[in-house]
Amino acid sequence: MKHAFDIHGSQVVIGDELADFALPSGRELSLLEQLYRQLWPEEENPRPSRLAILTDENTGRHCLPVLREVLHEEFVLLEMPAGEAAKNIDTCRQLWTDMLEAGLDRHSLLIVLGGGVPGDLGGFCAATYMRGIPFVFLPTTLLAQTDASIGGKLGIDFAGVKNLVGLFSQPALVFIYPGFLFSLAFRQMLNGWAEVVKHALIADAGLWASIRNLAAPDIATAADWLISSIEVKRRIVEADPLERGMRKLLNFGHTIGHALESLFLGTENELLHGEAVVLGMMAEAAISHRFGLLSEQELNDIESYLRSRYPDTSGHLAKADQKRFFQLLRADKKNRAGSIRCTLIGPIGEGHYDVEVPEEVVREVVF
């Protein structure tokens, strides 16, 4: 099965077979060959001057061998460390150097094979190298497949603040192959599942009704809920590609979540992005209830669901340095004129962005 979306000029395809991406069938071109023709239509036999693939240690070990089976082209292999701690300017500097030394020019193409961190950083480096070269995402984690690879947000962490430096630039193609999810540990599946839940809570009450009875994300049915989840993001990004308004709905759970993620980064209590967003969603749902947007029953349903699926996250709050947490919260790029801005929900399936939330309210619901 193949399902395709067009999201602000970027083609997003969910495919059952990785061969759809790179291996011609004999009757039709692969998606990669079709992309070459779109990027360089004036050429008789369009090809990039250099094809490069970026991996981290994990995707280089588990996913690159699978891609090699269908990608019958020479390519330059670029590598970066795995994990959020590598999403910084030093990694960018090394990657830009590697791209230059490998001979990549403006006629080159970068394929990013990885999760959210390689996607954010690799896309950022491609979009800024020589003022921009085309890039393709092959997301390998649930977090990247349902959220991070879609919509053109790229960036790195700086000065301890999550995603402080970045830009908007759309990938030429996103190919989502659910088969990569079999390489993930269960914790990583739950990491991405948080974004599926977020999409349901902000804009799709029907999706919430269908997933809340699932004990855990089921890879066998991944295409079904991936389509519903991506459709939420498609509608929002199409309406507001540069996050001037409606796209801020996608920040539900992220104002408080990003501060917690940055707070514990590099410590023995480090949180994955989705785990931090779960804590953020519980806190921002509680604020939504206080502000009269979310009913007590809806709040109880959300809290019960998230606590049962993410039982090991709430204990982090007792270990938090509250002073540093609020420093990070005040530095969040979603704030305005020194006031903390959150996306709230209520009723389920409806979001409210740019809501000013006093610090004392945040303190009460988080700590």
- Which pLDDT tens digit goes with each residue over 114-123? 999 999 999 9
* pLDDT tens column, 21-69: 998 766 688 999 999 999 999 898 899 999 999 999 999 999 999 999 9
Partners of 77 in beta bridges: 53
Please give the DSSP secondary-structure letter assigned to residue 336. Answer: B
Q: Residue 336: what residue type?
A: R
Delimiting residues of CATH 3.40.50.1970 domain(s) in the chain: 2-183
In whole angstroms, give the CA distance from residue 86 to residue 329: 21
Q: Residue 106 is which amino acid? A: R
298-319 mean pLDDT: 92
The per-residue pLDDT for 1 is 54
> 225-246 pLDDT, tens per residue?
899 999 999 999 999 999 999 9
pLDDT score, position 315: 85
Of 48, 306, 289, the closest CA to residue 173 belongs to 48
Task: State whether CATH 1.10.600.10 applies to domain 2-183.
Answer: no
- Where do the CATH 1.20.1090.10 domains begin and end in the chain? 200-366
User: Who contacts 113 (Cβ-Cβ below 8 Å, separation ≥6)?
Assistant: 53, 54, 55, 59, 63, 64, 67, 138, 140
Residue 188 belongs to what H/E stretch? helix 186-203
pLDDT tens digits, 172-215: 999 999 999 998 999 999 999 999 999 999 999 999 999 998 87
pLDDT confidence of residue 216: 74
* Whether pLDDT at 102 is above 60: yes
Q: Which CATH architecture has domain 200-366?
A: Up-down Bundle (1.20)
Q: Average pLDDT over the chain, rounded to whole?
A: 94
Cα–Cα distances in angstroms (integers) from residue 160 to residues 201, 266, 331, in the given order: 29, 11, 10
- pTM, two decimal places: 0.93
Q: What percent of the chain has pLDDT over 90?
A: 86
For the stretch 121-144, pLDDT in tens is 999 999 999 999 999 999 999 999
| Percent helix, strand and coil across the chain, each to the nearest 5 | 50, 20, 30
